[in-house]
């Protein structure tokens, strides 16, 4: 797209639209993906916008690696191990069932060819946990429900995109071999994981020798690409390679990075993921206009979209309970190790099957010679719209109505970690107290701080209010924040009066902000 003055105005309008979406998401406390998908839909009907067409491979290569790496990096390996069976059943069995079910709908009701119908099924089979887990955490869903939702999304991306690749090849070539597709599936999975581990080991060695925050953040950003691109080049799953290195580095990074890198890195990934999602929905909006013009919106087309969207939801609601209860019914060892969950838990998981960025990127990456490409992109966007908006807006109400209490394990583990950290600090303080450079009054003051912290979190761990520790802590936090606000105002006033430079103000503000952020701990 050539950058004429008109194009620059359009680009500015898109940036303003993204800003509006960000404000709406913050004001309404909705996951950002919901306003984004609505904004992408509106873009499709704005007259005068260009019909943007990007090289298909560019969408997957440029957008997927950082999204996959980020999701994997922030997914706990322990939660993946603890919930490996339900995550595997949902990410493998449900992806296969959804792909087959949607393929049947696509062929018999929408009248796509079988290859194109399977392509559509593979595209809409993976879930997007970002919005679902955000909603679930906010309204207090049980920890295990959130862990399964996140873990399922992480693993099913890999399988779905391997199926997608096979289906696209069949759609373009016009032939399909079950044996060849099965063999390629195994090679893709094993090879992708192997490449991810190998690249992860190398990146880990490099990170151990780097002590510069911008460089470390840059390496983290490139890590997904460093695994994805070689894997794709040798014909194995770049998606699984990016996911694998993300999980690998998520486990080892806390031992490799500095405080500054962790703080900067977390903020960087939060902003990047939002911007990449915004870019995706803007791209589909720019393509949607041309697709709508070529397809011509009719009642039949809207009915096709409804068939596919409802099918995706129904298949999930059908198979999640099956995969939850049938293994326990068949195997006594599973029942004894992991008893039947309350019916509300699979109900929540069933309704949290949002589709999002991965499905959208896969649809945009379809080659132009895939039969029914425009229809597949349109139906994919319809599924994302229905699941994100319909299910996304109703999930908080459903979780509240079902009233499944959290077992409190996450809060107890948090308290346990903080007690252990405080006790380790006290033990180290006693070792250092005899050193000449340590003043007794300083050591005593720090003993008091760490003992207070230890008592506070021991009380939280046992679920009791130890002589009003929590109440005193809440009062302290409120008072401290009032004082920190006063500090901020004073520093800004000095800057406004010309008494200090901008650089000094930012440095002091940063220290105040860091102290403020510690209050929640």
* pLDDT tens digits, one per residue of 433-468: 888 888 888 888 888 888 888 888 888 777 765 555
Model confidence at 471, pLDDT cuts 50, 70, 90, reads: low
SS3 139: coil
Q: What CA–CA distance (Å, rounded) separates 356 from 34?
A: 10
pLDDT by residue (tens digit) across 241-282?
999 999 999 888 887 877 778 878 888 888 888 888 777 777
Most confident residue range from 81-85, 247-251, 355-359, 454-458: 247-251
**Most confident of the following: 9-13, 139-143, 392-396:** 392-396
Report residue 103's pLDDT band, with 50, 70 and 90 as the boundaries: very high
pLDDT surpassing 80 at residue 50: no
Confidence of residue 7 (pLDDT cuts 50, 70, 90): low
Q: What is the pLDDT of residue 26?
A: 66
Domain ranges of the chain: 5-407, 408-464, 480-521
| Residue of 203, 164, 187 whose CA lies nearest to 56 | 164
What is the pLDDT of the chain when averaged over all its residues?
Answer: 83
Q: Has residue 2 got a pLDDT over 60?
A: no
Start-to-end C-alpha separation, the chain:
49
Percentage with pLDDT > 70 across the chain: 88
Quick one: pLDDT at residue 259? 73
Give the confidence band of 406 by pLDDT, cuts at 50, 70, 90: low
Q: Tell whether the model's pLDDT for residue 182 goes beyond 90.
A: no
pLDDT at residue number 1: 47
pTM over 0.85: no
DSSP 246-312: HHHHHHHGGGT--HHHHHHHHHHHHHHHHHHHHHHHHHHHHHHHHHHHHH---HHHHHHHHHHHHHH
* pLDDT tens, residue by residue, 154-181: 888 878 888 888 888 887 776 666 677 7
Cα(149)–Cα(80) distance, integer angstroms: 11
The band of 3, judged by pLDDT with boundaries at 50, 70 and 90, is very low
Containing 442, the helix (H) or strand (E) segment is helix 440-462
**Has residue 314 got a pLDDT over 90?**
yes
pLDDT tier, 5 (very low <50, low <70, confident <90, very high otherwise)? low
**CATH assignment of 5-407, among 1.20.1530.20, 1.20.120.530, 3.30.465.10, 1.20.1640.10:** 1.20.1530.20
Sign of the dihedral through C-alpha 450, 452, 453, 459: positive
The answer on pLDDT for 16 being more than 80 is no
**pLDDT tens profile 206-240:** 998 888 888 999 999 999 999 999 998 998 888 88
Which pLDDT belongs to residue 121?
95
Maximum mean pLDDT: which of 96-110, 291-305, 393-407: 96-110
CA 371/CA 171 separation, integer angstroms: 7
State the pLDDT at residue 44: 67
């Amino acid at each position: 797209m050539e950058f004429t003055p008109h194009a620059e105005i359009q680009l500015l309008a898109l940036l303003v639209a993204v800003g509006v979406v960000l404000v709406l998401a913050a004001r309404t406390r909705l996951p950002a993906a919901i306003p984004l998908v609505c904004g992408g839909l509106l873009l499709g009907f704005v007259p005068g916008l260009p019909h943007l067409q990007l090289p298909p491979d560019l969408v997957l290569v440029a957008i997927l690696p950082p999204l996959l790496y980020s999701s994997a990096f922030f997914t706990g390996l322990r939660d993946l191990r603890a919930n490996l069976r339900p995550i595997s059943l949902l990410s493998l069995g449900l992806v296969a069932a959804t792909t087959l079910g949607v393929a049947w709908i696509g062929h018999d009701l929408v009248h796509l060819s079988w290859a194109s119908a399977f392509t559509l099924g593979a595209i809409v089979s993976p879930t997007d946990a970002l919005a679902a887990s955000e909603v679930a955490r906010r309204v207090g869903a049980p920890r295990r429900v959130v862990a399964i939702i996140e873990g399922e999304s992480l693993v099913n991306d890999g399988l779905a995109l391997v199926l997608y690749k096979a289906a696209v090849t069949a759609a373009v070539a016009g032939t399909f071999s079950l044996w060849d597709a099965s063999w390629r599936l195994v090679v893709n999975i094993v090879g992708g994981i192997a490449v991810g581990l190998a690249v992860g080991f190398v990146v880990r060695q490099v990170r151990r020798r780097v002590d510069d925050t911008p460089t470390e953040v840059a390496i983290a950003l490139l890590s997904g690409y460093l695994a994805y691109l070689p894997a794709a080049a040798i014909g194995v799953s770049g998606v699984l390679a990016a996911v694998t290195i993300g999980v690998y580095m998520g486990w080892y990074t806390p031992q490799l990075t500095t405080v500054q890198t962790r703080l900067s890195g977390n903020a960087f990934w939060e902003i990047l993921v939002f911007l990449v999602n915004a870019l995706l929905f803007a791209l589909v909006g720019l393509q949607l206009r041309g697709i709508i013009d070529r397809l011509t919106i009719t009642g039949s087309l809207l009915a096709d979209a409804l068939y596919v969207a409802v099918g995706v939801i129904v298949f999930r609601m059908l198979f999640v309970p099956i995969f939850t209860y049938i293994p326990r019914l068949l195997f006594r060892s599973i029942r004894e190790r992991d008893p039947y969950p309350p019916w509300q838990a699979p109900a929540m998981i069933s309704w949290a099957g949002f589709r999002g960025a991965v499905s959208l990127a896969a649809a945009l990456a379809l080659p132009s010679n895939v039969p029914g490409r425009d229809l597949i992109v349109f139906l994919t966007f319809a599924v994302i719209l229905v699941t994100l908006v319909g299910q996304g807006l109703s999930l908080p109400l459903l979780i509240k109505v079902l009233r499944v209490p959290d077992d409190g394990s996450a809060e107890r583990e948090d308290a346990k970690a903080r007690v252990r950290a405080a006790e380790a600090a006290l033990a180290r303080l006693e070792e250092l107290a005899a050193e000449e450079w340590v003043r007794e009054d300083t050591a005593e003051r720090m003993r008091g701080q760490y003992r207070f912290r230890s008592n506070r979190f021991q009380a939280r761990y046992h679920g009791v209010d130890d002589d009003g520790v929590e109440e005193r802590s809440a009062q302290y936090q409120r008072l401290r924040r009032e004082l920190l606000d006063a500090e901020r105002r004073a520093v800004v006033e000095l800057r406004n009066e010309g008494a200090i430079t901008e650089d000094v103000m930012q440095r002091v503000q940063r220290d105040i902000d860091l102290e403020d952020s510690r209050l929640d701990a």
